[in-house]
């Protein structure tokens, strides 16, 4: 049945599916995992770094991009589609600042991106954007925000979420481990993001990229060394927890 | 006769079927060129089973030359990577033959160092126990070649005393279920067995109306007809290319009777698997 209703985006199938939109969601799953965590005074974005070819300049393969000084996003899916969406969002951020003399709120820019994506699900001859995005930042009121958008053009606020390959596994990990204690301070929130990624990332900390935004501070990208330090701390904590467990059982 | 919109006059087929039958038959009769083309195509698509060192064809089927009690077949790059890192790394395996074939989707390679990214079909037996046979098949075997492959591997009168285990992957979008696909926890394992397979499989059975395709289906069908105990472990995944999580989804199979005892060091195997992944990552910039 699907094959007759997936040729044009503007056609519903008899049971109400928009197959092109659902196929676009499959394209998102081909991108590597990205996780977003909303802490009390921090927002964290962690991504699984794709291995870069030998002759490729690593700086040009980025999954986390700043949209403005106080908002950044991570995406999963088609690289070229992400580039187009990010460029449009960046222009909109500046245009908004010039027009109303205020930086965009995280919700505004998320709604802009989601509206853009939805337009492409209802246009003749165009296919949807094959990306999901995690948008994080702080508004003027100092409240941290995390939003997720998907190819259908929906957007929702989340406390923590994951997109891309194995997103389900990471989301289940977050559902079990996102507690008030886990986000009690900034360092704990960062560790939670790394632990969530380590569930699905091959070869550990070397393949993780992390970015944080603290209240009233610009985006900070973690260096490989800083991530390694965090990973080592997490491994030590794991070992200690296991030792305690084995003592208890003994 | 009929006239088309453009003014040509064309011959319309007669539904009665009685007119001009002889003329049509002449048109249908094969010319020598047609026969030659057909012969060449059949030769090109032939499945050849070659001996290891001499690279000459085997005169008998593989299982006649190397009778076995356990035959484990991995079809597809994830299943091949699983057997390479968990089973083949835990013992000394000797290559006993390889299948060479050509079709529109793949041509088996001739290289000595086979990586899961290339297309090949190689057979091994365990040196310490030659009755355990293993097949690593990472090439696509087309429908017209499957019967040839079965004949050359199993032969026309296979022994019922062996047990066959097949491992393969399929994309989760092929899995038919009343649950929404977004709620499925991929990757997951499903089993399908022949009537003579008495053990209980390591995972739940594949439900109707799902079906198995290609070579794994041909092998199972063959085993069902010849009453050979066989089980297929099918991993439904959302990542068809070589992927660590998909390969690890096969781990429950290690507890099955055919694979137990063949795997010695699981942590070491996991390390080998990780190395295999990093050396074989295909660089694609389409998805990030």
B221-265 pLDDT, tens digit per residue, is 999 999 999 999 999 998 888 888 889 899 999 988 888 888 877
Q: Which of B242, B245, B270, B287 to mutate to test the interface with A (most CBs of A within 10 A)?
A: B287
What distance in Å separates the CA atoms of residue A215 and residue A222, rounded to the nearest whole number? 17
- Which pLDDT value is given to residue B164? 94
Residue of higher predicted confidence among B268 and A137: A137
Q: Which of B277, B283, B288 sits opposite A82 (nearest CB)?
A: B288
B10 to chain A, minimum CA–CA distance in Å? 32
Residue of higher predicted confidence among A52 and B124: B124
How confident is the model over A239-244, as a mean pLDDT?
90
- Give the phi and the psi of residue B188 in degrees, each rounded to 5: -140, 155
B20-66 pLDDT, tens digit per residue, is 555 555 556 778 889 999 888 888 888 888 887 667 788 888 888 88
Inspect the interface and report whether the beta carbons of A30 and B185 lie closer than 8 Å.
no
Give contacts of A63 with chain B, Cβ < 8 Å.
Answer: 288
DSSP B69: S
B287 touches A79 (CB < 8 A):
yes
Mapped onto helix, strand or coil, the DSSP state of residue A4 is helix
ipTM over 0.90: no
Inspect the interface and report whether the beta carbons of B288 and A200 lie closer than 8 Å.
no
- Which pLDDT value is given to residue A55? 85
Q: Which of A19, A27, A29 to mutate to test the interface with B (most CBs of B within 10 A)?
A: A29
* Nearest CA-CA partner of A62 in A88, A38, A83: A83
- Which pLDDT value is given to residue A126? 86
Check CB contact of B240 with chain A, cutoff 8 Å.
no
Q: Which of A31, A53, A200 sits opposite B288 (nearest CB)?
A: A31
Inspect the interface and report whether the beta carbons of A79 and B288 lie closer than 8 Å.
yes
Q: Which residues of A touch B (CB under 8 A)?
A: 25-27, 29-32, 50-51, 53, 56, 61, 63, 75-80, 82, 165-166, 168-169, 200, 202-203
What distance in Å separates the CA atoms of residue A8 and residue A6, rounded to the nearest whole number? 6
- Which pLDDT value is given to residue B54? 66
- Which pLDDT value is given to residue B55? 73
pLDDT classification of A209: cutoffs 50, 70, 90: very high
Evaluate if residue A1 carries a pLDDT over 50. no
How confident is the model over B73-88, as a mean pLDDT?
91
A49 touches A63 (CB < 8 A):
yes
- Which pLDDT value is given to residue A247? 86
Q: How many CB atoms lie within 10 A of CB A74?
A: 26
pLDDT classification of B15: cutoffs 50, 70, 90: confident
- Token pair for A117: 């994506």
| Strands B230-237 and A131-138, sheet pairing | unpaired
Residue B113 Cα to chain centre, angstroms = 20
pLDDT classification of B13: cutoffs 50, 70, 90: confident
The torsion defined by the Cα of A226, A231, A236 and A242, in degrees rounded to 10, comes to: 160
Residue of higher predicted confidence among B280 and B4: B4
Q: Which of A171, A203, A209 to mutate to test the interface with B (most CBs of B within 10 A)?
A: A203
What pTM value is reported for the model?
0.68
A83-141 pLDDT, tens digit per residue, is 999 999 999 999 999 999 999 999 999 999 999 999 999 887 789 999 999 999 999 99
Look at chain A and count its residues.
Answer: 250
Q: How many CB pairs under 8 A join A and B?
A: 51
What distance in Å separates the CA atoms of residue B220 and residue B209, rounded to the nearest whole number? 17
Question: What percent of chain B has pLDDT above 70?
Answer: 86
Residue of higher predicted confidence among A143 and B56: A143
A31 to chain B, minimum CA–CA distance in Å? 5
Inspect the interface and report whether the beta carbons of A79 and B287 lie closer than 8 Å.
yes
- Token pair for A22: 């659902």
Give contacts of A58 with chain B, Cβ < 8 Å.
Answer: none
> Hey, which residues does A43 pair with through a beta bridge?
A38, A213
DSSP H or E run through B146: helix B143-154
Q: Which residues contact A104 (CB under 8 A, 6 or more apart)?
A: A68, A71, A92, A93, A96, A97, A112
Question: Could you write out the DSSP letters of every residue in A73-100?
Answer: EEEEEBHHHHHHHHHHHHHHHHHHHHHH
Give contacts of A61 with chain B, Cβ < 8 Å.
Answer: 285, 288
- Which pLDDT value is given to residue B163? 93
Question: What percent of chain A has pLDDT above 90?
Answer: 66
What distance in Å separates the CA atoms of residue A233 and residue A155, rounded to the nearest whole number? 34
pLDDT classification of B17: cutoffs 50, 70, 90: low
- Which pLDDT value is given to residue B111? 54
The CA–CA distances, whole Å, from B257 to B85, B191, B193 equal 19, 15, 14
What distance in Å separates the CA atoms of residue A82 and residue A129, rounded to the nearest whole number? 8
Q: How many CB atoms lie within 10 A of CB B121?
A: 26
């Amino acid at each position: 049945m699907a094959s007759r209703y997936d040729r044009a985006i503007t056609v519903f199938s008899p049971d109400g599916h928009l197959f092109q939109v659902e196929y676009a969601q499959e394209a998102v799953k081909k991108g590597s995992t990205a996780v977003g965590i909303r802490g009390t005074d921090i927002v964290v974005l962690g991504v699984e770094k794709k291995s870069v070819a030998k002759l490729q300049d690593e700086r040009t393969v980025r999954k986390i991009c700043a949209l403005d000084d106080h908002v950044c996003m991570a995406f999963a899916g088609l690289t070229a589609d992400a580039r187009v969406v990010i460029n449009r969002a960046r222009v909109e951020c500046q245009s908004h600042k010039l027009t109303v003399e205020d930086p965009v709120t995280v919700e505004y820019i998320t709604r802009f991106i989601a509206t853009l994506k939805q337009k492409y699900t209802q246009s003749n001859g165009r296919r949807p954007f094959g990306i999901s995005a995690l948008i994080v930042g702080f508004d003027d009121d100092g409240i941290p925000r995390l939003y997720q958008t998907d190819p259908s053009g929906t957007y929702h606020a989340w406390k923590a979420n994951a997109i891309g390959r194995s997103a389900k596994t990471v989301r289940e990990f977050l559902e079990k481990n996102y507690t008030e204690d886990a986000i009690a301070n900034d360092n704990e929130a960062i560790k939670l993001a790394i632990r969530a990624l380590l569930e699905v990332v091959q070869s550990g900390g070397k393949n993780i990229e992390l970015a944080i935004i603290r209240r009233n501070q610009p985006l900070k990208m973690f260096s490989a060394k800083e991530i390694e330090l965090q990973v080592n701390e997490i491994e030590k904590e794991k070992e200690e927890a296991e030792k305690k467990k084995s003592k208890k059982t003994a | 006769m009929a006239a088309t919109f453009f003014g040509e006059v064309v011959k319309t087929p007669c539904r009665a079927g009685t007119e001009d039958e002889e003329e049509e038959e002449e048109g249908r009769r094969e010319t020598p060129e047609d026969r030659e083309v057909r012969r060449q195509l059949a030769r090109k698509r032939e499945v050849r089973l070659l001996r290891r060192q001499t690279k000459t064809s085997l005169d008998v089927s593989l299982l006649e030359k190397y009778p076995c009690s356990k035959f484990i077949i991995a079809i597809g790059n994830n299943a091949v990577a699983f057997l390479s890192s968990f089973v083949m790394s835990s013992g000394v395996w000797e290559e006993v033959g390889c299948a060479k074939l050509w079709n529109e989707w793949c041509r088996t390679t001739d290289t000595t160092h086979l990586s899961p990214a290339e297309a090949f079909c190689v057979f091994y037996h365990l040196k310490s126990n030659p009755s355990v046979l293993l097949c690593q098949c990472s090439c696509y075997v087309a429908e017209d070649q499957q019967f040839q492959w079965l004949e050359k591997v199993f032969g026309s009168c296979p022994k019922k005393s062996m047990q066959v285990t097949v491992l393969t992957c399929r994309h989760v979008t092929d899995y038919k279920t009343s649950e929404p696909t977004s709620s499925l926890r991929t990757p997951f394992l499903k089993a399908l067995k022949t009537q003579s397979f008495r053990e209980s499989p390591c995972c739940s059975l594949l439900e109707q109306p799902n079906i198995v395709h290609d070579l794994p289906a041909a092998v199972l069908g063959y085993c069902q007809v010849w009453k050979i105990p066989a089980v297929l472990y099918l991993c439904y995944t959302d990542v068809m290319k070589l992927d660590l999580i998909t390969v690890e989804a096969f781990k429950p199979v290690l507890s099955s009777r055919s694979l137990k005892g063949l795997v010695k060091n699981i942590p070491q195997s996991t390390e080998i698997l990780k190395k295999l992944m990093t050396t074989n990552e295909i660089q694609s910039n389409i998805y990030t």
